[in-house]
Amino acid sequence: MKFSQRIGKSPMKTELEKEGLSNDLRNSLWTIVRELLIDNLSNELDYDVYGKAKKNTDLTIFFKDLWIHFFKYPIDNLPFYSSKVHKTNATNVVREWFFKADWFLIFDFIEFCSTYKNNFQEITNKFLKRELSAYRFVNGNLVEINSKEEIIEIENAINNLDEFRPVKEHLKRSIELYSDRKNPDYRNSIKESISAVEALSKILVNDPKTTLGQALKVIEKKHQIPNSLKSAFSALYGYTSGEGGIRHSLLEKDINIEIEEARFMLVTCSAFVNYLINKS
């Protein structure tokens, strides 16, 4: 906390920002793009023995990708100079857009940029945390998260599942559906979350035809899962699969699914996956 905030002279931000982007965070995100990508990617051409450029520079590739796949601008509008992107002019175009664009488009842009540098997501998360944004990178997607503990459960579930590929794929898909800001699909995100637990249970009892309820009975006997925990998760499973539940196709439209339910199921199922793996 700054001195001016401690003495009450400057306002102190206390709530996570979900619908918007503060000037401080926008400036910070631009700094990350500038420092890690635009000023870091090489723009030096490599020539063959005949003096012809062998390939595009790394910076040229980055800007070409931005023009073609993100902005969808005509490629002949990309500033070039001597067979490579004109760094200053191209940067000015992107910068002007960046400081005028809506907050959700900025996050689309940041997601797009994150694939060009290994530590981009890690560094971005530090700034998102510092500026009290409600979003964090989790498995390559910007996801709305309310606490550090939620992030840890989801990341641990994803990172610890190399030997349980079907489980990992269900959780990754759940995150993708949950974090799509243009067209979020919370209903199917929940389906994927519960399917992750279901898939893990089938693997643990070595029975691809078993149900989650049946698998939990086997796992409980083997690993002594407390009845209260088993009952709680069986109830959650019933919420998603029973008549009137999310999976019940005839009544799907009768149930209103919001982001809170999807986040709860993603975090809870990730935590339960971690629990079952640790007990095994």
pLDDT of residue 185: 86
Structure token pair of residue 96: 């002007």
Amino acid, res. 229: L
- Tokens representing 126 are 């530090």
Q: Tokens for 110?
A: 């940041």
Helix ranges (DSSP H) in 142-226: 148-159, 165-179, 186-205, 212-223
DSSP structural state of residue 35: I
Q: How far apart are CA 150 and CA 133, in angstroms?
A: 15
- Tell me the mean pLDDT per 10 residues along the chain, length 280: 54 61 94 96 69 76 95 94 89 97 95 93 90 85 75 76 82 85 82 87 84 76 72 68 51 67 86 80
Q: What is the pLDDT of residue 49?
A: 47
Question: Where do the domains of the chain lie?
Answer: 19-133, 148-279
Q: In whole angstroms, what is the distance from residue 116 CA to residue 190 CA?
A: 30
Q: Are strands 84-85 and 135-138 parallel, antiparallel or unpaired?
A: unpaired
Hey, which residues does 141 pair with through a beta bridge? Answer: 138
Q: Give residue 181's pLDDT.
A: 66
Helix (H, G, I), strand (E, B) or coil at 146: coil
**CA–CA gap between residue 175 and residue 229 (Å, rounded):** 24
Distance CA 253, CA 246 (A): 9
The maximal CA–CA distance of the chain, rounded, in angstroms, is 76
Q: What is the CA radius of gyration of the chain?
A: 23
Report the alpha-carbon distance of residue 248 to residue 251 in Å, rounded: 6
List the one residue out of 203, 177, 136, 202 whose CA is nearest residue 261.
177
Tell me the pLDDT tens digit for each residue of 190-214: 889 888 888 888 888 888 888 777 7
> 3-class SS at 47?
strand
Which residues contact residue 87 at a Cβ distance below 8 angstroms, ignoring those fewer than 6 apart? 38, 43, 59
pLDDT on residue 250: 35
pLDDT value of residue 253: 57
Q: Provide the 3-class DSSP secondary structure of residue 138.
A: strand
State the DSSP H helix or E strand holding residue 84, giving kind and residue range, or none if neither: strand 84-85
Give the model's pLDDT for residue 217. 75
